[in-house]
Chain A
């Protein structure tokens, strides 16, 4: 990506004062966004453009792919990661600007089924026997090796003592998005998904779900970090700040994340 050079301000001054000067400083920032944060980030980008006149170009994908791309010269100025490890690793390796990391959202894990009667409010269905009437054949999770939500799901199963029983029923998606798809298409009756995928304004949109208590798994913190390309980009710096404004945080909460 080529950054637009700052426009000469004298023309702006002639045309009018405040508005055009702000516009003259408007820049564009390309942001790599963790796929699970797609919906809230689209909203935030809109608000960001309204409030700052900068423009945010969003690229969605998996954190693992972003890591490979950033290490090989991808034109991203900001990374909104799905974990805390990747931004830390990039910083360590000199591929991110030191001291700019912060947690922009904390994900919530939910056990979800499209069947409105399957999931109870304590997740006891996980301990059911296959012969029980209210049981399930497949449990979808995100791959624990690739996605923090997958690791969290394994922790929950382990702490509930359900892991041994459930292991033969596990199917893994390569991301939390795919775990969601498996349950959405009813190929798996049950799955651990992100609360943000199934709730809107604090309500579960369909089926039945158990919002897993946060003491059952390691916090799903998602960190943002500034990349070297964004160091002198006004829009990138503004976005890093904007993520912490009330307006952005309200949007983040609306989608089922905590802070």
Chain B
């Protein structure tokens, strides 16, 4: 199996994109999931539906609307220009934004499940021990919900590695900036370079399998050693 330097830089970029997206998504998804798990608000159902919505649109279509939104006449584009950041289309930051929207349901749902499974009891106990809410959240809720976090991270990472349509639409195929593994494989296939496509696809599958396996084992062990 022979990988070109372009293939390797696509792999590296994919790992960067998936890592950055996963970290940012966990930060964003935690408060959303906490709120969804605990609120009695009548807005709960509509917000939950909104979070799940990226599942509905075909990724290239989602990417197309992102492209419009990021453009100079689109709402996001107007905001980023006003803020002096220029345009996000064809940039790594643009891909991160797109990936976060695309993978949002995969981060939020496992966290909601974990927070709901925890129930309100642990936080109440923490409160009687005079832990303030924030303190209790970090020292009680997060450790208890750890399997949920691991699951959310795994799904977000894997889903971003496999992301294609959104990147294709807003990426512009720029080496080292927006050319990720999935678009690189697609390019090989379209150019009828099947041997290279096979090599890169195999590398991606093996790597992802091993990574998911490792995470899954680590999660298992932690669950068993937990008090």
Contacts and interface: CB of A to CB of B under 8 A. Distances in A.
A172 interface: yes
Contact of B172 (A64, A65, A68, A173): A173
User: B interface, how many residues as a size bin?
Assistant: 20 to 34
A137 B89 CA distance: 12
B68 interface: yes
B208 interface: no
B191 interface: yes
B87 A174 contact: no
A191 to B, nearest CB: 11
Contacts of B170: 187
B174 A171 contact: yes
B174 A172 contact: yes
Given A145-B187, A172-B173, A138 B90 contact: yes
B190 A187 contact: no
Contacts of A62: 190
Nearest to B68: A185
B173 A68 contact: no
Contacts of A174: 168, 173, 183, 186-187, 190
A68 B194 CA distance: 10
A162 B198 CA distance: 36
Given A138-B90, A145-B187, A174-B186, A186 B168 contact: no
A3 to B, nearest CB: 29
A64 B191 contact: yes
A181 interface: yes
A182 B87 CA distance: 13
Interface in B165-221: 168-170, 172-174, 183, 186-187, 189-192
B173 A186 contact: no
B69 to A, nearest CB: 9
Nearest to B64: A181
A64 B189 contact: yes
Interface of A: 62, 64-65, 67-68, 137-138, 140, 143, 145-146, 170-174, 178, 181-182, 185-188
15 contacts: A62-B190, A64-B189, A64-B191, A137-B86, A138-B172, A143-B173, A170-B174, A171-B174, A172-B172, A174-B187, A174-B190, A186-B72, A187-B72, A187-B77, A187-B87
Given A138-B172, A171-B172, A182-B67, 20 more contacts: A64-B189, A64-B192, A65-B189, A67-B192, A68-B189, A68-B192, A138-B90, A145-B191, A170-B174, A171-B90, A172-B174, A173-B172, A174-B173, A174-B187, A182-B172, A185-B67, A185-B71, A185-B74, A187-B72, A187-B89
